[in-house]
Amino acid sequence: MTQSAVSRHIKNLETHYGLRLFNRLTREIELTEAGQRLFRTVEKSFNAIEAASRELAPREVKRSLVVSILPTLASTWLMPRLAKFTQLHQNVEVRLHTSIAPVSFERDGIDIAIRVGKPPAQRRRKGAPRVDLVMTVEWKGVANDRLFADVLVPVCRPALLGKRATVDALALQRLPLIHTDSRAHAWEDWFGTQGVTYRPGARDLHFGHFFMSVRAALDGRGVALVPDVVVEDQLASGDLVIASPARVASAGDYYAIYRRERADEPAIAAFRAWIAAESAPVLVAQGLAD
């Protein structure tokens, strides 16, 4: 707007109100007392209009994503990484449900689930430790993305081994073994892969979930047989050590499973891509990448 146009608008305002609104100085103008009163009133009006405009403007819809996941994997692997997903996808609100039960997407209102086992079309590893869990109540219409392998490792406090770095399977039998109820056959099958017949010990302990077994191992109560992904931090810090060098992949892998018809929905597709990227280094470290 030109200077002459500004001058015309000022003159029109002063004529309209019948008041002098500006003092004209040599190189500038300033508001008179009447002009200041008008400015304060107009400023409030414009601020109200701006606030109303923000309120009425279309907002980005926040999507909720319900993820069902195994309890120990949730607390030890997913939770430490989840902030990265929410930073990348601030319009997605992730709600975690923990369960080891077979997932029912419709009944439980689940968008995507993380489970361990083998989908029907996937070949099981021959002679590998059994996975007793069922992934879903119905595979019809359900798709899956493989995340990483279920590699079982025997871990304990360093003091439990004394001066030995590791022990063989026979020596391991003489130590208190920590069992996890959701994998009732894990120790029996692990010893079988080592050519040793498992015999229950009087000092053996039993717990409901892997996170309980890990806690017991940290307390020095015995040797726990757990998936490698749930003890990454404890092994890195030296709080736990590998008790026997045999790392055995079970008959199952970890998968993200979801309804095929919903695979490309924005929130589900974003989570699938993100968790695949987070899982890739694990699979490579396990030496089992396709």
State whether 276 and 141 are in the same domain.
yes
Confidence grade of residue 286 (pLDDT, cut at 50, 70, 90): confident
At residue 278, what is the residue type? E
- Write the burial class of residue 138 (CB in 10 Å: 0-12 exposed, 13-18 middle, 19+ buried): exposed
Instruction: Please compute the mean of the pLDDT values over residues 154-167 and round it to a whole number.
Output: 90
State whether 135 and 272 are in the same domain.
yes
With pLDDT > 70 as the criterion, what percentage of the chain qualifies?
88
Prediction pTM value: 0.77
Tokens linked to 48? 């109200």
- Per-residue DSSP letter, 201: -
State whether 83 and 144 are in the same domain.
yes
Instruction: Please compute the mean of the pLDDT values over residues 104-128 and round it to a whole number.
Output: 90
- Per-residue DSSP letter, 75: I
Q: How far is CA 51 from CA 47, 56, 57, in A?
A: 6, 9, 10
Confidence grade of residue 9 (pLDDT, cut at 50, 70, 90): low
State whether 42 and 80 are in the same domain.
no
Q: State the pLDDT at residue 54.
A: 62
Q: Is 87's pLDDT higher than 60? A: yes
State whether 240 and 119 are in the same domain.
no
State whether 265 and 142 are in the same domain.
yes
CATH number for the domain spanning 202: value is 3.40.190.10
State whether 169 and 223 are in the same domain.
yes
State whether 143 and 180 are in the same domain.
no
State whether 127 and 207 are in the same domain.
no
Q: State the pLDDT at residue 56.
A: 60
Q: Is 29's pLDDT higher than 80? A: no
CA distance 195 to 62: 54
State whether 137 and 163 are in the same domain.
no
Q: Is 1's pLDDT higher than 70? A: no
Tell me the CB-side half-sphere exposure of residue 90, using CA atoms within 13 A: 3
Q: Is 148's pLDDT higher than 90? A: yes
Confidence grade of residue 274 (pLDDT, cut at 50, 70, 90): very high
State whether 184 and 125 are in the same domain.
no
- Per-residue burial over 7-24, b = 16 or more CB atoms within 10 Å of its CB, e = otherwise: eeeeeeebeeeeeebbee
Domain's final residue, options 24, 40, 56: 56
Domain that holds residue 201: 151-249
Q: State the pLDDT at residue 3.
A: 67
Q: State the pLDDT at residue 288.
A: 64
Q: State the pLDDT at residue 133.
A: 93
Instruction: Please compute the mean of the pLDDT values over residues 18-26 and round it to a whole number.
Output: 75
Average pLDDT, the chain: 89
Domain's final residue, options 32, 56, 80: 56
The runs of H, that is alpha helices, within the chain are 3-17, 33-56, 71-73, 79-88, 105-108, 169-172, 186-193, 210-218, 232-237, 266-286
Domain count, the chain: 3
Q: Is 187's pLDDT higher than 80? A: yes
Domain's final residue, options 37, 56, 75: 56
Confidence grade of residue 188 (pLDDT, cut at 50, 70, 90): very high
Instruction: Please compute the mean of the pLDDT values over residues 29-43 and round it to a whole number.
Output: 75
Instruction: Please compute the mean of the pLDDT values over residues 12-30 and round it to a whole number.
Output: 73
Confidence grade of residue 25 (pLDDT, cut at 50, 70, 90): confident
Q: Is 115's pLDDT higher than 80? A: yes
Q: How far is CA 198 from CA 93, 161, 177, 221, in A?
A: 46, 20, 11, 19
Rg of the chain over all Cα atoms, to the nearest angstrom? 32
Q: How far is CA 39 from CA 1, 30, 33, 44, 49, in A?
A: 20, 12, 10, 9, 15
